[in-house]
Each structure stands twice: as C-alpha cells, then as structure tokens.
Amino acid sequence: PANAGYRSKGENCLLKTGSVAYKSSLPVASNELPLKAGECVKIGPVNIRGIPTNRLMIVLRTNGCEYARKTGGCSVCGFMKNAGENIGDTQIAGQFRYVLQTLDGHDIQEIDLLTLGSFLNDREVGPAARKALLGQAADLEKIRRITIESRAEYVSVEKLKECRQWSGDKILELGIGLESADDYIRNTIIRKNLSKDDFEQSVADVKSAGCDLMAYVLVKPPGLSEKEAIRDAVDTAIYVFDTARKYQVNARVAFEPVFICQNTDLETLFDNKEYRLANLWSVVEVVKRTHHLGSVFIGLSDESLSLDRMVYSCDKCYERVVNEIELFNKTQDFSDLALADCDCKAAYQYLVREEMI
C-alpha cells in the first residue's frame, strides 16, 4: 500500500542535561501558557566548516507563518499546528532564555533559532526579539554559528546586517526553504510561491551582508516516485551549490525527508494511499550522489509533528542507518554510511529499479 513502511518509533524533541530530559508539551494556541521553553528542543550532531560538533535546535513558539495564515501555506507543512496568538517579543525571547539555563556541560557550538515561520518577518518576530535572541546567543563563548530561517520575501541586506551586528563574532547562517529547483514541484505541488529569481536575490543579499547560506531541500515531495525524488533532490543540490559559487557564498544543503503533518493536503493524500513516504535508503542514495558537491546535512527530526509518519526502512536496520546518517552529519565522511546494508536494501533497490515505488 502507498502508506506502508513508515517508522514505528517517533523522535521526541528532547533536551537532555545529565540524567534529566525535558520534553515540550505545550498545547496549541493558548495565551495562558508561561511559554518557558520552545515547542521543540533538540541537541544533535553538525559540522561547522569542517569542525565536527553539536548543535542546539530550538523551535520557538510564535504566532506562526504569515504566509500560511494568509494563503493556507505549503501543502506539506504543518508547523501552524503549534503556533499561538498574540505572542510578543518578550515571550519569544524568554523561551530561549529558559532553555539556555539547562545547557551546562554540553559541547554545543551552533544554535538554530527556528520560529514556525520567518525570523526576518517583523510581524512574526519583531526587531526587539531578534536583537534579544541573537544577543543571548552571541554571549555564549563556545558558539561559533547561529542559524536563522526566513522566507525569501522578508530577506534584505539591511535586516541581515542588523542581525549580523547583534550576533557579534559568530557566523550567521540564513536558511531558506528552496525545497526543489523544479518550478512545478516547488510552486504547484508544494505551493511555495518562490521564484528562482527571488531565491537568487536572497542569496545575493546573504553575500552582501557577509552571512552564510543554508538551503532546505525536500526529499520526496508528493507526486514523485522514489527514483524521481532522488533525482530531484540531487538536481536541487547541484543548483544550490552552483548558485552559491555564482554569488561566492559559503553554503550548505539541508536535505529534509518529507513527513506527514496533521491537517495538510499531504495527510489527505497519505490517508487515501496516494502518497508513499520516502524510503530511508533513498536518503542514503541522495547523500551518496551529493556529498562531494559541498557540505550537506540530513534533517531527521519531525519536530513532534508527524505522529511517527516519516521516512523509514525496516525494524532491523532503521536505527543503525539513522546513527550512520547522524555520524555523517557530524563528520561529513561518507565512508561508513557507504557500507550500510540490510536485506531490505536489496528489496528496495529492486522496487526502485522496476519503478514499483
């Protein structure tokens, strides 16, 4: 069946401090909440310009994506589920401050400040919140890179330079959801409403402001077979790195295997057996074909949104292969991941070859 084979074990958003684990359990859209911690907090491996280390990813609870509120948003995105209402700059900054109190003893050199939308949209995260968040991160001695994200329409050289100033001597990286280099996939299937011209203008702005670029690339948007999904992800990575060279920007690609969020068009397709989740071996194949192009990262967090409906292989190999992917995220060395194998891999390769999935 189209929706068979998804993972049976979810990845909770946990922040572990010694023997203590914090899991965010904030309900949706309640203005009575203290908003002490973000919607999702996770520590995981990353590589910063050749240095293997760890990152703190925090998804801050905000009013959510303005594009989603106005248009219904992207067909695969369910982040509005965790958005609130009337969440101000002080509350947004306070969530990060609360999380920082639990970080002692962790070797973290990157902080990803994610916001359920666009960090650079003043109506989602105001200038005061941006200044407070980046200032708090800049005050952390061990931090080398701060990552923020935004839709392209909110990006400007002025805002990026302002954010760089607040970030002190840290690398400031801007993440943009390109999703696919194919215009039809990106704007008709995913409904991103992003032209390549606008994406490249944002890349030029990143260069002018002295920032780094991270482009998010989806693995297996709806309507694509496994073979087509692999090709699309690879082609998109090639486009990103070619564009980065064109504008002389330090860039990396973050591959994001699609997962199923509630109350989305994708969930409807999935429930109707019209969409099959990507196989984990397709993700490995994408990395195999792109790791030589530049720095790549594989995002395997569902940010507690998928109800365990996300990329999978089989019970025998899933955790082992995920561990190899996480190791690759840290080292950028593909050699161990290249050796990953399982009985299910041969079956998967046959199905792809025969175009049965």
Phi first, then psi, for residue 298 (nearest 5°) are: -115, 115
pLDDT confidence of residue 322: 95
Q: Identify the pLDDT of residue 84.
A: 79
Residues 6+ apart with CB under 8 A from 242: none
Residue pLDDT, tens place only, 311-349: 899 999 999 999 999 999 999 999 999 999 999 999 999
Residue 158 is predicted with a pLDDT of 99
Closest CA to 222 of 75, 81, 353, 352: 75
Q: Of the ranges 26-35, 236-245, 255-264, 308-317, which is most confident? A: 236-245
Q: Which of 76, 73, 84 is nearest to 38 (CA)?
A: 84
Rounded Cα–Cα distance for residues 301 and 96 (Å): 19
CA distances from 257 to 25, 65, 210 (A): 24, 21, 29
**Residue 151: which of 65, 261, 253, 252 has the closest Cα?**
65
pTM value? 0.89
Of the pLDDT bands very low, low, confident and very high (cuts 50, 70, 90), residue 30 is very low
Average pLDDT, the chain: 88
The single-letter DSSP state of residue 332 is: -
Read off the pLDDT of each residue in 115-124 and give the average, rounded to a whole number.
Answer: 96
CATH level 2 (architecture), domain 14-353: Alpha-Beta Barrel (3.20)
Token duo for residue 216: 């998010």
Q: Which of 26-40, 99-113, 273-287 has the lowest mean pLDDT?
A: 26-40
Q: What residue segments make up the domains of the chain, in order of their start? A: 14-353
